[in-house]
Every structure is written in C-alpha cells, then in structure tokens.
C-alpha cells in the first residue's frame, strides 16, 4: 500500500471532545477517482495503525467515484481495505455520488433523474462510465447493474450495494454530508438511500455547515463539502478544523489534488492529507 511518490502530510494532534469508547478510527473523506492519492493515504494509515498496535477501524465517508482519473482503481482499493495492516474493521458509507449511480442501476423511480444528474459535467459520472466500458470492452454499453457488476467483480459489487448511511460510535456520528439540526437522529439516519429526496444525510450543506447550535450532544465527522464551499458556509479559514461539533474531511480531491483523512481518538484528532496541490486549485 505504500506510495513513495505521493506526499502525505500529517498534522499535529488537536484536542476535541470525541468519545469513541476507546476505539481509534481512521476516516477517509471524498476520493472522487484519485487512486494514487488514496493509495498514499491508505499507506500512511496502515503505518499509523501498525505503530499503535492492535486492530483499528477504517471508515470511508463516501464519494469514492466520479470526476477523477481512476475510479475503478479507487474501488479496488476500497474493496480490499481489510488487508491494510493494523485495520481490523472497515465501514463503507454511501456518498451522494454512489447514491446516484445506485438509483440509476437499480431502475428506481428516480433512475432517469439520477442518470441525468450523474452524467452531468458537474457530477462527473461520465468518467466512471468510460472506465466501465473500457473494462468490459464495449464502448457503447449503457449504465446498468450488469455493467457495474462486470466492471467491479463480485466482491466489490456486493460491498457497493451494501454501503451504509452512517456509523455511530460513542458521542460521534460518521456520515457523508451532515445532520439536519433539530431532526430526530434515529429517524434522520434511517432515511433510505432509495429516495434521493429523503436521504439528505448524503446531500445536506446549507443548514448544516452554517449551523452553530450543536446537534444535541452529537459530534459529526463528514465529507461532501470541498474547502471553498465549506469556507463560504462556515467562515472557517481551515476547513479541517473541528468547530461547532463538526469535523470536515473533504479535501477537494479531483479538483484540488488532495485526498484527506483523519485519525480520531477519544479527546483528540489529527489530519492526514495525501497529494500535491493542483495548479490554480482553490483550497
């Protein structure tokens, strides 16, 4: 898993009131097809986990796919993450980009809308579709469950369909986008991905990031919102600073060159950032 070509920056530990019941969690933010950067980040996570001893938890916060240059390479690493040294459990959470693809290939009532959005230039799903077509040798293949399975293989496909909305440990919820202030937590997190309009845990930005009143004692570790938009909503100069009971881990990935993660323990966290800033990128 080690990548000696892609730099990984690891911050100093910072205090935060996480209470994870003694667990150490490595959380990975949005990847968006940046396989090289993910490889470097997972290599650094493996070293940190091994140095601590024991087996630790790795959580992918979603948005593995779209926009970037090697989406299938990302999904291969994602599906094989149990092999990372020092990692005893892997949780794979769903992002809004995975949700759109699943809505499309499961022929849901939202399939037509999901396909149009997923294949739009802003979402970047055409990158994934091109890779899948190349994998199966059919340049005209339509996006479908059959194409997805043929591209990913049996094991990764099962894991793709089995993604969860969240992980809750102690006083902390790990999820893709965020929480709706004032919503019943259990009801909110149980909203099904099969309804794009209900599953706002995969989409919320405004109303979450500009909220400063807390979440009923729950802390949130999330991705979804890249630094420029995060900064506009929160006013934070550092988008990866724990503040107002939130810790954001979207480093911009395919639009910045950075894939970002964190090592989180009871009482503290530190940021791991893999990659090199792209020319003219805003972070």
Query: Which residues lie closer than 8 Å to 39 by C-beta, 6 or more apart?
Result: 1, 3, 6, 77
- pLDDT of 13-45, one tens digit each? 999 999 999 999 999 999 999 999 999 999 999
Please report the beta strands in 146-232, taking only residues with DSSP state E, as ranges in sequence order: 166-169, 172-175, 219-222
pLDDT of residue 3: 52
C-alpha pair distances (Å), 34 with each of 17, 241, 278: 31, 23, 13
Assess contact for 96 and 169: CB atoms under 8 A.
no
Pairing state of beta strands 258-265 and 25-28? antiparallel
Q: Which class for 243: exposed (0-12), middle (13-18), buried (19 or more C-beta within 10 A)? A: middle
pLDDT of residue 196: 84
- pLDDT of 51-85, one tens digit each? 999 999 999 999 999 999 999 999 999 999 999 99
- pLDDT of 218-252, one tens digit each? 999 999 999 999 999 999 999 999 999 999 999 99
Angular region, 8: left φ>0, alpha ψ -120 to 50, beta rest: beta
Locate the domains of the chain by residue range.
8-95+166-275
Token look-up 């009131």 returns: 17
pLDDT of residue 1: 44
* Cα atoms in the Cβ-side hemisphere of radius 13 Å centred on 122: 3
- pLDDT of 254-267, one tens digit each? 999 999 999 999 99
pLDDT of residue 4: 57
- pLDDT of 197-206, one tens digit each? 999 999 999 9
C-alpha pair distances (Å), 90 with each of 56, 95, 258, 262: 9, 16, 22, 15
Distance CA 216, CA 257 (A): 35
C-alpha pair distances (Å), 188 with each of 1, 160, 169, 180, 283: 36, 22, 17, 8, 30
- pLDDT of 85-132, one tens digit each? 999 999 999 999 999 999 999 989 999 999 999 999 999 999 999 999
What's the rounded mean pLDDT across residues 186-196? 95
Strand partners, 9: 273
Whether 2 has a pLDDT exceeding 60, the answer reads no
Percent of the chain with pLDDT over 70: 99
| The CATH number, out of the four listed (3.60.21.10, 3.30.70.1350, 3.40.50.620, 3.20.20.70), of the domain defined by the range 8-95+166-275 | 3.60.21.10
Pairing state of beta strands 25-28 and 246-248? unpaired
Q: Which two tokens stand for residue 141?
A: 């293949």
Assess contact for 215 and 222: CB atoms under 8 A.
no
- The kind and range of the H/E element at 282 are none
Q: Which two tokens stand for residue 111?
A: 């399939």
């Amino acid at each position: 898993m080690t990548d000696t070509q892609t730099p990984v920056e690891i911050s100093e530990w910072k205090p935060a009131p996480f209470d994870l019941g003694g667990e150490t969690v490595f959380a990975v933010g949005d990847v968006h097809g940046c396989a090289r950067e993910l490889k470097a980040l997972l290599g650094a996570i493996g070293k940190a986990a091994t140095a601590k001893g024991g087996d630790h938890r790795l959580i992918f916060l979603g948005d593995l796919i779209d926009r970037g240059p090697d989406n299938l390479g990302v999904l291969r690493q994602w599906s094989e993450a149990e092999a990372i040294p020092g990692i005893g459990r892997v949780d794979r959470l769903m992002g809004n980009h995975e949700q759109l693809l699943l809505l499309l290939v499961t022929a849901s009532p939202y399939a037509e809308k999901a396909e149009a959005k997923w294949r739009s230039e802003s979402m970047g799903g055409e990158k994934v579709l091109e890779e899948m077509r190349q994998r199966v040798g059919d340049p005209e293949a339509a996006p479908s469950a059959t194409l997805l399975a043929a591209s990913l293989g049996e094991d990764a496909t099962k894991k793709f369909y089995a993604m969860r909305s969240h992980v809750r440990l102690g006083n902390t919820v790990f999820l893709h986008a965020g929480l709706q202030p004032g919503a019943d937590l259990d009801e909110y997190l149980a909203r099904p991905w099969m309804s794009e309009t209900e599953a706002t845990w995969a989409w919320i930005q405004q109303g979450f990031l500009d909220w400063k009143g807390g979440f009923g004692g729950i802390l949130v570790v999330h991705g979804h919102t890249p630094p420029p938009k995060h900064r506009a909503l929160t006013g934070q100069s550092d988008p990866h600073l724990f503040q107002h009971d939130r810790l954001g881990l979207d480093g911009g990935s395919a639009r910045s060159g950075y894939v970002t993660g964190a090592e989180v323990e009871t009482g503290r966290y530190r940021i791991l950032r893999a990659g090199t800033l792209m020319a003219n990128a805003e972070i």
